[in-house]
Amino acid sequence: MLVMVPLPSIACLEAFECVARHSSVSRAAAELNLTQSAVSRQIHQLEDLLDVALFERVKQRVIITDAGKLYLKDVNRVIIDLKDSTSRIMACGGSASLLNLAVLPTFGTRWLVPRLPDFLSKHAGATVNFSARSSPFDFSIEPFDAAIHYGSPIWPGAATHHLMDEDTVPVCSPGYEKSERIKKPSDLGRVVLLHQSTRTDAWAEWFAAMDTGHSHPLRGPRFEQFGMIAQAAVSGLGVALLPKILIEEELASGKLSVLFNQSIRSASSYYVVLPETKVASPLTHAFARWIIREAKVGASASYS
């Protein structure tokens, strides 16, 4: 026999979260635009339902109990999830044409978003939401329809589809190339090398692949994001080793120049990932087909 667990109202949960955050009934009441007695009544209702004391009253202060702290973690998650779900539904007007994507920030900004108008033109009325994720997650917990992943094709509970490999090339501004008189790979031994902080061995690997020595391949400023290091190269701060797919705009505009055609292919690749834990919508499948096709077109253009 199914036992029904009584659930608290959203108003009671909001009052509890607000009082816990402020450690004050009066400040919570001001934020919620309620009277202090109304907030106190909601807290009492919640404590009666749980049969647990959530706060201790000490003079003019309320101090959350250990049980309250434990409950607060789950309440915060419930409120955040409910707000997110509500905003997503409001954003798409209740339409089923909603796609929630988990995307690598730089890939999303520099490769995916510039191409997205083509997808939206083929799917009128579709709404695409973006969230930044840099590592695999559990689709059964995170409410995403698909993800863009950089790494290996292994993602528990999901199917991965190859998009593209990543080839990195040395680039700098035309002005820096001219002022430093860079003509051959060995010339990079006397210039400033710009590094991506999560790929500290990239330059050493490039010099090894070129069979060119460098006494200090790890020296030089480090940047956490590709966008920052690309801008540093554009600004003439040095030579960067960057994936061509992430600097298409700078190469097309002439802000950056590829110094040598010798590139190195990363061990990792880009994938579109679909969850196996739920049935993907027609829009999700359409997006996967579209992005795979776009990746193939881009790869053909790169090697033509």
Cα angle, residue 237 at apex, residues 214 and 254 outer, rounded to 5°: 105
pTM over 0.75: no
Q: Go through the chain and tell me how many residues it has.
A: 304
The encoded tokens of residue 19 equal: 């009082």
Cα angle, residue 296 at apex, residues 295 and 299 outer, rounded to 5°: 85
The CA distance from 156 to 138, in Å, is 8
* CATH match for 10-92 among 1.10.10.10, 3.40.50.300, 1.10.1060.10, 1.10.3720.10: 1.10.10.10
Are 98-165+268-303 and 166-265 equal in CATH topology? yes
Q: 79-88, 142-151, 188-197, 246-255 — which is least confidently predicted?
A: 79-88
Condensed to tens digits (0 to 9), the pLDDT of residues 260-296 reads 988 889 889 999 999 987 767 889 999 999 999 999 9
Residue among 250, 104, 253, 115 at smallest CA distance from 169 = 250
Q: What is the pLDDT of residue 303?
A: 45
> DSSP letters of 195-223?
EETT-TTHHHHHHHHTT---S-TT-S-EE
Average pLDDT of 168-176? Answer: 96
Strands 98-103, 127-132: pairing kind? parallel
How many Cα atoms are found within 13 Å in the side-chain-facing hemisphere of 221? Answer: 14
The CA distance from 185 to 228, in Å, is 24
Which percentage of the chain shows pLDDT scores above 70?
Answer: 93
Q: Which residues pair with 174 in a beta bridge?
A: none
Per domain, the residue ranges of the chain are: 10-92, 98-165+268-303, 166-265
What Rg, from alpha-carbon coordinates, does the chain have?
26
Q: What is the pLDDT of residue 57?
A: 87
* CATH superfamily, region 166-265: Periplasmic binding protein-like II (3.40.190.10)
Helix axis angle for 10-22 and 25-32, nearest 10°, is 130
Average pLDDT, the chain: 89
Q: 106-115, 179-188, 293-302 — which is least confidently predicted?
A: 293-302
Task: Give the torsion sign (CA, 117, 120, 125, 126).
Answer: negative
> pLDDT-derived band of residue 304, with 50, 70 and 90 as boundaries?
very low
Q: What is the pLDDT of residue 95?
A: 54
Q: What is the pLDDT of residue 119?
A: 96
Which percentage of the chain shows pLDDT scores above 90?
Answer: 67
**Highest-confidence range of 89-98, 138-147, 173-182, by mean pLDDT?**
173-182
Question: Which fold is adopted by the domain 98-165+268-303?
Answer: D-Maltodextrin-Binding Protein; domain 2 (3.40.190)
Instruction: Please say whether the beta carbons of 195 and 222 come within 8 A.
Output: yes
> pLDDT-derived band of residue 142, with 50, 70 and 90 as boundaries?
confident
Condensed to tens digits (0 to 9), the pLDDT of residues 77-128 reads 999 888 877 776 666 555 558 899 999 999 999 999 999 999 999 998 888 9
Q: 27-36, 94-103, 171-180, 288-297 — which is least confidently predicted?
A: 94-103
Q: What is the pLDDT of residue 3?
A: 62
DSSP class of 46: H
- Reduce the DSSP state of residue 275 to 3 states and report it: strand
Residue among 88, 28, 19 at smallest CA distance from 47 = 19
